[in-house]
Amino acid sequence: MKKVFKRASLTLLIGALASSVANAEALRLLTWGGYAPDEVVAQFEKETGIDVEVTKSNNEDMISKLRATGGSGFDLAQPSQDRVTSAQADFNIYKPIDLSKIDADKFIPSMLEATRKNTQLDGKVYGVPHVWGTSGLIVNRKSAPAVADYTDLCAAGLNGDVSYRLKRPTLIGFAFAMGEDPFSAYNDKNKYQAILNKVEEKLISCKGAVKTYWSGGDDLLNLIRSGEVKAAMAWDSGGWKLNSEIPDVTFVAPKSGALGWIDTFALPRKTKAEDAAYKWINFVMRPEIAAKITESAGNFTASKGSDEYVNATLKKQFQESFSAQAVDNIKWYPPVPPGLEEMEGKVLDRVKAARL
Amino acid sequence: MKPQHFKFGLALLLTPILLWLTLLIALPHVDMAMISLRERVSAGTYAFSWSNYTAFFTEPLYWRTFMRTAVMSIMATALTLLIAFPISFYIAKVARGRLRPLLFLLCLVPFWVSELVRTYGWMILLRETGVLSSLLQWLGWVDGPVEMLYQDATIMVGLVYTSMLFMVVPLVSTLDSLDDSLIEAAYDLGASHWRVMRDVVIPHAAPGIVSGCIVVFMLTLGNYLTPTLLGGKDSLWFTEQIYTQFITRFNWEQGSAFGILLLILSSLIVWIGLRLSRQSFTKVMS
Amino acid sequence: MSDPVTTSFDLECRNVRKNFAAFTAVNDVSFQIPQGSFFSILGPSGCGKTTLLRMLAGFQQPDAGDILIKGRSVLDTPPNKRPVNMVFQHLALFPNMTVAENVAYGLRRRKAPRHEIETAVKDMLARVGLPDSGGKRIDQLSGGQKQRIAIARCLVLRPDVLLLDEPLGALDLKLREQMKVELKHLQEKFGTTFVYITHDQSEALVMSDHIAVMNKGRFEQVGTPQELYYQPDTAFVASFVGDSNCWRGTLVSRDSEGAAIRTASGLQFRVEGALENLQQGQEAQVYLRPEAVKIELASASSHGDAGAGRGGENCFSGVVDAVLFDGARSQVQVSLDHSSESISVALPQTPMFHNIGKGQRVLLSWAAGQCSCFPV
Q: Are residues C255 and C207 in the same domain?
A: no
Give me the residues paired with residue A250 across strands: A139
d(CA B124, CA B232) in angstroms, rounded, equals 14
Interface test with B, best of C56, C88, C117, C164 (most B CBs within 10 A): C88
Q: Are residues A113 and A183 in the same domain?
A: no
d(CA A130, CA A114) in angstroms, rounded, equals 12
- Asked if B73 and B156 touch (Cβ cutoff 8 Å), the reply is no
Give the pLDDT band (50/70/90) at residue C300.
low
Average pLDDT over residues C336-360: 87
- Residue C319: which residues within 8 A CB-CB, separation 6 or more? C334, C335, C337, C359, C360, C361, C362
Q: Do B185 and C86 touch (CB under 8 A)?
A: yes
Q: Do B199 and C110 touch (CB under 8 A)?
A: no
Cα dist from C146 to C38, C96, C129, C151, C155, whole Å: 21, 14, 12, 9, 14
Q: Are residues C178 and C310 in the same domain?
A: no
Give the pLDDT band (50/70/90) at residue C22.
confident
Domain membership flag for residue A327? no
Q: How far is CA A92 from the centre of its chain?
A: 21
| pLDDT tens track for C107-124 | 999 999 999 999 999 999
Nearest-CA distance C6 → chain B (Å): 25
Average pLDDT over residues C69-87: 92
SS (H, E, C) chain A: CCHHHHHHHHHHHHHHHHHHHCCCCEEEEEECCCCCCHHHHHHHHHHHCCEEEEEECCHHHHHHHHHHHCCCCCCEECCEHHHHHHHHHHHCCEECCCHHHCCHHHECHHHHHHHHHHCEECCEECCEEEEEEEEEEEEECCCCCCCCCHHHHHCCCCCCCEECCCCHHHHHHHHHHCCCCHHHHCCCHHHHHHHHHHHHHHHHHCHHHECCCCCCHHHHHHHHHCCCCCEEEEEHHHHHHHHHHCCCEEEECCCCCCEEEEEEEEEECCCCCHHHHHHHHHHHCCHHHHHHHHHHHCCEECECCHHHHCCHHHHHHHHHHCCHHHHHCCEECCCCCCCHHHHHHHHHHHHHHCCC
Instruction: Residue A120: give the domain boundaries.
Output: 3-132+261-321
Q: Are residues A265 and A222 in the same domain?
A: no
Q: Are residues A276 and A314 in the same domain?
A: yes
Q: Do B246 and A64 touch (CB under 8 A)?
A: yes
- Residue A192: which residues within 8 A CB-CB, separation 6 or more? A182, A185, A186, A340, A343
- Per the prediction, chain B carries an average pLDDT of 89
Cα dist from B232 to A356, B155, B218, B240, whole Å: 15, 9, 22, 12
Q: Are residues A221 and A304 in the same domain?
A: no
DSSP line for C45-95: TTSSHHHHHHHHHTSS--SEEEEEETTEE-TTS-TTTSSEEEEBTTB---T
Domain membership flag for residue A151? yes
pLDDT at C303: 53
Q: Are residues A211 and A342 in the same domain?
A: yes
d(CA A229, CA A214) in angstroms, rounded, equals 11
Q: Are residues A235 and A311 in the same domain?
A: no
**CATH code: domain of residue C275:** 2.40.50.140
Domain membership flag for residue A297? yes
Q: Give B81 or A2, the one with higher predicted confidence.
A: B81
Q: Are residues A43 and A160 in the same domain?
A: no
| 3-class state of residue C201 by DSSP | helix
pLDDT along chain A (356 residues), means of 10: 49 50 74 93 94 92 91 95 90 94 92 92 94 95 92 88 93 95 94 96 92 88 92 94 93 94 96 94 94 92 88 89 90 89 89 82
Could you count the other beta carbons within 10 Å of the beta carbon of residue B150? 23
Residue at B179: amino acid letter: D
Q: Are residues C170 and C262 in the same domain?
A: no
d(CA C200, CA C287) in angstroms, rounded, equals 20
- Asked if B91 and B168 touch (Cβ cutoff 8 Å), the reply is yes
d(CA C200, CA C49) in angstroms, rounded, equals 13
Q: Are residues C300 and C322 in the same domain?
A: yes
Predicted ipTM > 0.85: no
Q: Are residues A12 and A124 in the same domain?
A: yes
Could you count the other beta carbons within 10 Å of the beta carbon of residue B251? 19
Nearest-CA distance A63 → chain B (Å): 8
Average pLDDT over residues B183-205: 94
> Does residue C337 surpass a pLDDT of 60?
yes
Within 82-111 of C, beta carbons closer than 8 Å to B belong to 84-86, 88-90, 92-97, 105-106, 109-110
Instruction: Residue C349: give the domain boundaries.
Output: 243-375
Q: Do B191 and C57 touch (CB under 8 A)?
A: no
d(CA C101, CA A195) in angstroms, rounded, equals 72
Burial of C219 (0-12, 13-18, 19+ CB in 10 A): buried
Q: Give C276 or B186, the one with higher predicted confidence.
A: B186
Burial of A141 (0-12, 13-18, 19+ CB in 10 A): middle
Q: Are residues A122 and A226 in the same domain?
A: no
Looking at beta carbons, which residues of chain B come within 8 Å of C81? 190
Q: Are residues C201 and C304 in the same domain?
A: no
| 3-class state of residue B140 by DSSP | coil
Give the pLDDT band (50/70/90) at residue C173.
confident
The count of structural domains within chain C is 2
Lowest mean pLDDT among A141-145, B89-93, C196-200, C372-376: C372-376
Q: For chain B, which domains are there?
A: 59-285 (1.10.3720.10)
| pLDDT tens track for C242-265 | 888 998 999 888 887 788 888 888
- Residue C111's region, left for phi above 0, alpha for psi from -120 to 50, else beta, is left
Nearest-CA distance B278 → chain C (Å): 13
Q: Are residues C305 and C346 in the same domain?
A: yes
Give the pLDDT band (50/70/90) at residue B97.
confident
pLDDT at A14: 52
- Residue A282: which residues within 8 A CB-CB, separation 6 or more? A102, A103, A106
Q: Are residues C88 and C203 in the same domain?
A: yes
Q: Are residues C9 and C131 in the same domain?
A: yes
Nearest CA to C78 out of B94, B197, B187, B195 is that of B187
**Of the residues C205, C222, C239, the one at which a domain ends:** C239
| pLDDT tens track for B246-262 | 888 888 889 999 999 99
> Does residue B145 surpass a pLDDT of 60?
yes
pLDDT at C2: 42
Q: Are residues C264 and C207 in the same domain?
A: no
d(CA A182, CA A167) in angstroms, rounded, equals 15
DSSP line for C294-357: EEEE--SS-----EE-GGGEEEEEEEEEEEE-BTBT-EEEEEETTSS-EEEEEPP-SGGGTT--
d(CA A146, CA A326) in angstroms, rounded, equals 18
Nearest CA to C121 out of C72, C162, C154 is that of C154
> Does residue C301 surpass a pLDDT of 80?
no
d(CA A288, CA A39) in angstroms, rounded, equals 12
| 3-class state of residue B213 by DSSP | helix
Query: Which element (helix H / strand E) includes C361?
Result: strand C361-367
Nearest-CA distance C92 → chain B (Å): 5
User: Looking at the partner chain, which of A61, A227, A350 has a beta carbon nearest the beta carbon of B61?
Assistant: A350
Nearest CA to B188 out of C103, C84, C55 is that of C84
d(CA B123, CA A212) in angstroms, rounded, equals 13
d(CA A67, CA A93) in angstroms, rounded, equals 6
> Does residue C9 surpass a pLDDT of 90?
no
d(CA C321, CA C302) in angstroms, rounded, equals 18
Q: Are residues A243 and A227 in the same domain?
A: yes
- Asked if C50 and C216 touch (Cβ cutoff 8 Å), the reply is no
**CATH code: domain of residue C146:** 3.40.50.300
d(CA A59, CA A183) in angstroms, rounded, equals 19
Q: Angle at CA A272, nearest 5°, toward A268 and A274?
A: 75
Cα dist from B109 to A46, A62, B106, whole Å: 45, 36, 5
> Does residue C195 surpass a pLDDT of 60?
yes
Looking at beta carbons, which residues of chain C come within 8 Å of B182? 92, 94
**CATH code: domain of residue A225:** 3.40.190.10
Q: Are residues C234 and C258 in the same domain?
A: no
pLDDT at C1: 40
Between helix C143-155 and helix C114-127 the angle, nearest 10°, is 140
Please tell me the number of Cα atoms within 13 Å of B117 on its side-chain side.
Answer: 6
Give the pLDDT band (50/70/90) at residue C308.
very low
**Of the residues C216, C239, C262, the one at which a domain ends:** C239
Chain B residues within 8 A (CB-CB) of chain C? 179, 181-182, 184-192, 195, 199-200, 203-204
Q: What secondary structure letter does DSSP report for C195? A: E
| pLDDT tens track for B121-133 | 898 898 888 888 8
Cα dist from C225 to A219, B171, C101, C210, C357, whole Å: 84, 49, 38, 6, 34
> Does residue C4 surpass a pLDDT of 50?
no
Domain membership flag for residue A191? yes
User: Looking at the partner chain, which of A3, A9, A342 has a beta carbon nearest the beta carbon of B24?
Assistant: A9
> Does residue B1 surpass a pLDDT of 60?
no
Q: Are residues C109 and C169 in the same domain?
A: yes
Q: Are residues C230 and C304 in the same domain?
A: no
Percent of chain C having pLDDT more than 90?
54
Q: Are residues A147 and A92 in the same domain?
A: no
Q: Do B249 and A345 touch (CB under 8 A)?
A: yes
**Of the residues C190, C209, C239, the one at which a domain ends:** C239
C-alpha torsion angle, residues A209, A213, A219, A224 (rounded to 10) = 20
| pLDDT tens track for B63-79 | 889 999 999 999 999 99
pLDDT at A2: 44
The count of structural domains within chain A is 2
Q: Are residues A228 and A245 in the same domain?
A: yes
